[in-house]
């Protein structure tokens, strides 16, 4: 767009002439006191109660109170310290305080890490399934970030389960792997969430819906895994093993279980922050493209 302005040319302290000047506007100027919406994120924030203007204008979102950021950072550092303390204490209890099992010997110590990893995998699967259900039935972006983060953690801890389990099974059963019901359903759960991550990346326009449906299906496998040792004749240890542990072994187990739970929460927190930052970046890129295309339309060359 071209506009003409009058420039006063002065000299010697007096106005000499008024010269018309034509200048090109590279960016449209918003009206005084009005801020145009730049992205879907701004519009969503502007539609919330305290950000919406009565006339339909979109005001900039208010900055978060500094006290809120400090409180969140304090909780994060406290969680990091608690997780680090747990990983310092758990190995001491497992290898020093807890007695060695007389039948299997040292390899039984894998139990204190194998079961907590399975517990963390179940947490990830259930959270991903719940987030998938919310995404499917609310027809919005709610639960999308949580579903992605929880699915990745389910795969991570599932891989640890599938590594530690065969190491223990080789000594206990004489084979790294047997097609036991518990092992087979656990492998199925791991493969389902690998499929969830692949679907999110390679399933095309409806990738998020496909991934959410798979996550919901995977979450339904968790109760089946838990009750499999009760329903079928299986060589895997029963769920009654933990209540039968002696005092020091039980202490070591629950400290290790709590430590892996804290690690799961910490990794989930970090992964959610990455997802939220990526969402903000995507909105900013869309806003930049919209403004660039608008400028190209309003300011043609020549």
Structural domain includes residue 10: no
Structural domain includes residue 101: yes
**In the prediction, which pLDDT does 204 show?**
76
Count how many domains the chain has. 1
Structural domain includes residue 71: no
**In the prediction, which pLDDT does 93 show?**
94
Q: State how far Cα 283 lies from the chain centre.
A: 18
Structural domain includes residue 41: no
Q: Do 219 and 125 meet the contact criterion of CB atoms below 8 Å apart?
A: yes
Structural domain includes residue 213: yes
**In the prediction, which pLDDT does 13 show?**
46
**In the prediction, which pLDDT does 206 show?**
83
Where do we find the tokens 């924030």? 45
**In the prediction, which pLDDT does 230 show?**
83
**In the prediction, which pLDDT does 17 show?**
46
Rounded Cα–Cα distance for residues 92 and 90 (Å): 5
CA quadruple 133, 138, 143, 147: dihedral sign: positive
**What does each of the 302 residues of the chain score in pLDDT, given as a tens digit?**
444 444 444 444 444 444 444 444 444 444 444 444 444 444 444 444 444 444 444 444 455 555 556 687 888 899 999 999 999 999 999 999 999 888 888 888 999 999 999 999 999 999 999 999 988 888 666 678 899 999 999 999 999 999 999 998 888 888 898 898 899 999 999 999 999 999 988 877 788 889 999 999 999 999 999 888 888 878 888 777 888 888 899 999 999 999 999 999 999 999 998 888 887 888 888 888 888 887 665 555 54
Q: In which domain, by residue range, is 226 found?
A: 84-287
Where do we find the tokens 């389910």? 154
Structural domain includes residue 18: no
Structural domain includes residue 195: yes
Where do we find the tokens 């929460």? 265
Rounded Cα–Cα distance for residues 255 and 93 (Å): 8
Structural domain includes residue 50: no
């Amino acid at each position: 767009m071209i506009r003409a302005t009058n420039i006063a040319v002065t000299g010697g302290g007096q106005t000499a002439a008024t010269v018309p000047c034509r200048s090109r506007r590279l960016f449209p100027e918003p009206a005084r006191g009005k801020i145009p919406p730049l992205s879907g994120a701004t519009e969503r924030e502007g539609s919330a109660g305290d950000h919406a203007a009565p006339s339909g204008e979109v005001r900039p979102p208010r900055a978060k109170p500094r006290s809120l950021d400090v409180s969140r950072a304090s909780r994060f550092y406290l969680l990091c310290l608690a997780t680090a303390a747990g990983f310092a204490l758990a190995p001491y209890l497992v290898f020093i305080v807890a007695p060695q099992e007389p039948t299997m010997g040292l390899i039984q110590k894998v139990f204190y890490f194998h079961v907590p990893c399975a517990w963390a995998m179940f947490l990830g699967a259930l959270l991903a399934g719940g987030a998938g259900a919310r995404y499917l039935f609310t027809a919005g972006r709610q639960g999308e970030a949580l579903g992605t983060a929880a699915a990745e953690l389910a795969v991570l801890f599932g891989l640890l389960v599938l590594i530690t389990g065969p190491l223990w099974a080789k000594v206990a059963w004489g084979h790294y792997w047997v097609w036991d019901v518990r092992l087979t359903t656990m492998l199925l759960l791991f493969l389902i969430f690998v499929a969830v991550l692949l679907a999110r990346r390679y399933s095309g326009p409806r990738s998020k819906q496909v991934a959410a449906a798979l996550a919901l299906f995977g979450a339904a496998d968790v109760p089946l895994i838990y009750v499999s040792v009760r329903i079928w004749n299986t060589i895997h240890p029963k769920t009654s093993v933990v209540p039968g542990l002696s005092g020091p072994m039980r202490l070591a187990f629950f400290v290790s279980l709590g430590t892996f739970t804290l690690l799961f929460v910490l990794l989930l927190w970090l992964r959610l922050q990455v997802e939220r930052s990526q969402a903000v970046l995507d909105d900013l890129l869309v806003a930049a493209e919209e403004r660039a295309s608008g400028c190209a339309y309003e300011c043609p060359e020549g």
